[in-house]
Structure 1
Amino acid sequence: MSEPRFFAATPHDAAGDTLHEECGVFGVVGVTDAANFVALGLHALQHRGQEAGGIVSYHPEEGFNSARRFGYVRDNFTKQSLMETLPGALSIGHVRYSTAGSKGAAIRDVQPFFGEFSMGGAAIAHNGNITNANALRRELIERGSIFQSSSDSECIIHLMARSLQRDIPSRMEDALRRVEGAFSVVAMTRTKLIGVRDPLGVRPLVLGKIGEDGWVLSSETCALDIIGAEFIREIEPGEMVVITATDGVESSHPFRKAPSKFCIFEHVYFSRPDSIIGGRSVYETRRQIGVELAREAPVEADLVCAVPDSGTPAAIGFAHESGIPFGMGIIRNQYMGRTFIEPTEQIRNMGVRLKLNVNRALIRGKKVILVDDSVVRGTTSRKIKEMILDAGAAEVHFRIASPPTAWPCFYGVDTPQRDKLLAATMSEDEMRHHLGVDSLKFISLDGLYRAVGEAEGRKSSCPQYCDACFSGEYPVVPADKIEEGFQMKAAE
């Protein structure tokens, strides 16, 4: 598994200055033309991965069929000629960025992955990151496995192939017991849709119902809405569900029980605001983050503005709590494509301005509070500050709806190495000076926990979420990264 790669991605992120979720997964069983439902679901999950997507389907007469493409779902999986090659009532799909894989994009790394076993074929789509993939890969290669991709997820298929269990769900259990890290898996056989979450429940996975016999697995509830499916419940940490159109959902808990460590950054940024996590509206949680931020870090100003779109709910909460008016000081161009397709470096360097534009008439002469979801490298924040000052703002105050991101994530997020994270090398005051703003404040870790519903804040002895990117406390030891030289936080 190679070092995390940084995609040129969107204009807002021209310098790799945003944390990206690795991927989204979606699966459907018991409906006609299941692949069409999967394509719609992946479209709703596009925010979780914009590099590439893939769909696998099964039809009793035509067997397994697959399609994998680079780019957006809308540009590939809306074509009738392609979708007609994916018939059947059972299908799974995947959209990706990647944290583990080759530094040059290759179609062989695009999931779902497929394997043919003695009892039939199976396809698998994985959201998360395997932290002991290097050791597993070496072991499997020494025993004769031939890998087709550079993805850590392919280890699961090879581990399944070496299992002595008699059916595919049991082989999957066997394989996942060897895996460390984070995984939410959606898989399929000829008749079954399978969903599994790791014992810590780091990455999300939900169950939905559609029609009389149809069932859905999805990374988020927003993707259920687009196909008219009913949200049933979240798959529990450490749970495996095996679903058929005839027998419905069979649930088991094959892994040793552990305290839940759901990724708290799903609340802050990764999930769509119209999704539900843990029974809570993501939008309402982000608005409450803004409320907590206004209580912790008040400042005299004329206007509260969001850095769109991820900062908007928190900015609304901040404005409501502080009594300072909310305004659309920055307008997002919804139709801008990806900067890396532009032919010149000069155009690529204009990335932020291509996607975001300042509402000069509103900003001029004002003391402005800018609310953003995070500061990673600081490159984008500096450019946005310059745009606001160029528009005539009197003062610029940054309020950040997450604690300082000082540690990389190894559980399925595209994160810079630690020395590239601004908060890893600078104090808050040094960051304020570096960004050139009048003030800079982050929500505290306790404040973030209160916003997500933990009234007592973060219980430091046993935090209720995975917050390693803020605290440096990793719930699963990142064995591969330690092998490559990463140094864990020293025990206090």
Structure 2
Amino acid sequence: MDEKIHEECGVFGVWAPGRDVARLTYFALRALQHRGQESAGIAVGNGSTVLVRKDLGLVTQVFTDSDLSAMPGKVACGHCRYGTAGAKGWESAQPHLSVVDDVVLALAHNGTLVNFEALRRELIEMGIPFRSNTDSEVAAKLIGYFTQRAGRLRSGIAHTMRMLEGGYAMVLVRENALYAFRDPHGIRPLVLGRLGDDGWVVASETCALDIVGATLVREIEPGEIVRVSDDGIRSERGRVPGARANCIFEHVYFSRPDSVVRGSSFYLMRHNMGRRLARETPVDADLVISVPDSGTPAAEGFAQELGIPFGTGLIKNRYVARTFIQPTQELRQMGVRLKLNALPDVVRGKRLVMVDDSIVRGTTSRQIVRMLKAAGATEVHVRSASPMVAWPCFYGIDTGSQDQLIAAQMSLDEIRAHIEADSVGFLSVEGLLACVPEDGYCTACFTGDYPVEIPRSWWEERFLPGREPNNLEAASEASRTPLAEVPVE
């Protein structure tokens, strides 16, 4: 089990007549590759239909130059996936397709829909076929179903949004238009950018805008539908917004440090998290090091706050990527050494503070502590730039069940002993929130307070005995209505 928490995916969309939208999408997905490495796909609308190319693997493995040359058009969407809800085979690669009469729709989705299983059963009973068991395909087929009934795609999207519960940011293309829409709590991120005089892009992060030369305009608002076509750009409300609940882990780990939200870079926020962590859990040490690369901004802030030197004590192998070649048992036992190695000349004889972005399952932290002490460190004090992750996520993160989370089962001193550190410390929830802009965040992974109701069928086997989620907002009545009974204008 990988120590790191993983996002489900990254999404991108572009409307740019006269430009090579397939290649723009390819490079944007390269910028978003950190959000998902299992599969990648691009769909292009060429004015008469939608062409799709998708497969398992990294973006560079899925697409060739000839693939992109064979996909001309003026509108496109792209997706890179790390699967959480549903199977992880080729059928789960996105964008997913849906057909309404002779109109082909392609949907790219980031997030998890907590009520997709019930919706999928209803659609199957209506005779609608599926190629996967993913929540994303449910959304694609549901949009097709409501569009067929309403006779208008925007109405189909709006009706679908009223039926969906969970966290989602979606980008959809048809042959001549781009659509982008977001869940009513804004759990999953989505931004809008301008590309030249007549182009528009949407993306999970601003780093994807940067690589294609687009300028950030604003976030897609919770519950909003944005449409771009020959008629220009239009916005309408697909669902009434709820209480704002942006995923706090975007700030801790998921988003690239050079991406920006609400005027602040994630690098600066993480640097400030390290400074706050140093004030909350100070330690007398000779050197601060990071677990590269995600722990580096916080480690720099920690060192600066306490006036302790910052150094490179761990080297990361940047060429270790996801692979479909299964390792042998001997390679599994190497564990973290496939990705990290200690620098004895730096750590020997030193009292170290090792700063990581988070401690989730504890297995990697223990391996790194052992590695540093074997390299000659006299003490290793472990610090986490996020609070204790004690509750599973249901909105697009693969934290699985509560029994996989070390903070749900052990006290602070037990965690210290388990990872074999000389001390351990975590940033407080209050400290984390003080380092991010404004308010309105989902902190369920730290607190157990979930902004969207979790169906019992999802959580009853994923919590430890005596633990239950605190649902802050009940699922809407509309989402509980049988599909055949939903009134359509």
Same fold (TM over 0.5): yes
Q: Which amino acid aligns with 2:150?
A: Q
| Partner residue, 1:23 | 9
Where structure 1 has 5 or more consecutive residues not aligned to the other structure, the ranges are: 1-14, 455-462
Residue in 2 that maps onto 1:5: none
Q: Aligned equivalents of 2:193 and 2:470: distance in 1? A: 43
Instruction: Say whether the 8 Å CA contact 2:450–2:470 is kept in structure 1.
Output: no
Deviation of residue 147 (structure 1)?
1.4
Return the offset for 1:232. Answer: 1.1
Q: Which has the higher contact order (CA 8 A, sep 6+)?
A: 1
Secondary structure of 1:451's aligned partner: coil
Are 2:91 and 1:91 equivalent residues in the alignment?
Answer: no
287, 290, 304: which is aligned to 2:288? 304
Deviation at 1:450, TM superposition (A): 0.6
Question: 8 Å contact 2:75–2:176 — kept in the other structure?
Answer: yes
Counterpart residue number, 2:484 = none
Mark the CA change 1:397 to 1:251 in structure 2 (over 3 Å): closer, same or farther: same
Counterpart contact for 2:47–2:176, Cα < 8 Å: no
2:444 is the alignment partner of 1:468: yes
1:477 is aligned to 2:453: yes
The match for 2:112 among 118, 129, 133 is 129
Q: What is the aligned partner in structure 1 of residue 52 from structure 2?
A: 66
Aligned equivalent of 1:459? none
TM-score under structure 1 length normalisation: 0.91
Task: Specify the code of the residue in structure 1 equivalent to 2:343.
Answer: N
The answer to whether residue 189 in structure 2 is matched with residue 204 in structure 1 is yes
Alignment equivalent of 1:144, drawn from 105, 115, 127: 127
* Matching residue within 163, 169, 180 for 1:178: 163
Query: 2:371 pairs with 387, 395, 416, which one?
Result: 387
Matching residue of 1:354: 338
* Partner of residue 234 from structure 1, selected from 219, 236, 240: 219
Mapped to 1, the partners of 2:215 and 2:197 lie a distance apart of 11
Q: Does 1:344 align with 2:324?
A: no
List runs of 5+ in structure 2 lacking aligned partners.
473-489
For 1:195-344, list aligned pairs within 5 A. 195-244=180-229, 246-338=230-322, 341=325, 343-344=327-328
C-alpha distance 298-340 of structure 1, shift in aligned 2 (>3 A):
farther
Match of 2:421 among 421, 437, 449: 437
Could you tell me how far 1:340 is from its partner in structure 2? Answer: 5.8
Corresponding position: 1:115 with 2:98: yes
Where does 1:366-381 land on structure 2 (aligned, <5 Å)?
366-381=350-365
Cα offset, 1:106, TM superposition: 1.7
What is the rounded CA distance, in whole Å, between the counterparts of 1:301 and 1:339 in structure 2? 38
CA contact (8 A) 1:340 1:348 kept: no
- 2:36 maps to 49
Q: Summarize the Cα distance change of 1:483–1:294 in structure 2 as closer, same or farther, 3 Å threshold.
A: closer
Q: CA deviation at 1:212?
A: 2.2
2:137 counterpart of 1:154:
yes
Query: Per-residue CA shift, 1:184-203, capped at 9, x if unaligned?
Result: 01001121111101110001
Give the percent of matched residue pairs that are identical in Structure 1 and Structure 2: 49
Residue aligned with 2:393, SS = coil
Distance 1:388 1:231 in 2: 42
> What SS is found at the alignment partner of 1:153?
helix
TM-score by length of 2: 0.92
Q: Distance in 2 between matches of 1:264 and 1:248?
A: 33
CA contact (8 A) 1:168 1:189 kept: no
> Matched residues in 1 for 2:290 and 2:462: separation?
38
Root mean square deviation of aligned Cα? 1.7
- 2:409 is aligned, of 425, 434, 438, to 425
TM-superposed CA distance for 1:287, in Å, is 0.3
Q: Tell me the amino acid that sits aligned with residue 196 of structure 1.
A: F
Q: 1:488 aligns with which of 451, 468, 472?
A: 468
User: Any idea what SS the aligned residue of 2:250 has?
Assistant: helix
Change (3 A) 1:58 1:453: closer
3-state SS of paired residue (1:341) = coil
Contact residue 113 and residue 124 of structure 1 kept, 8 A: yes
Describe the SS at the equivalent of 1:314: helix
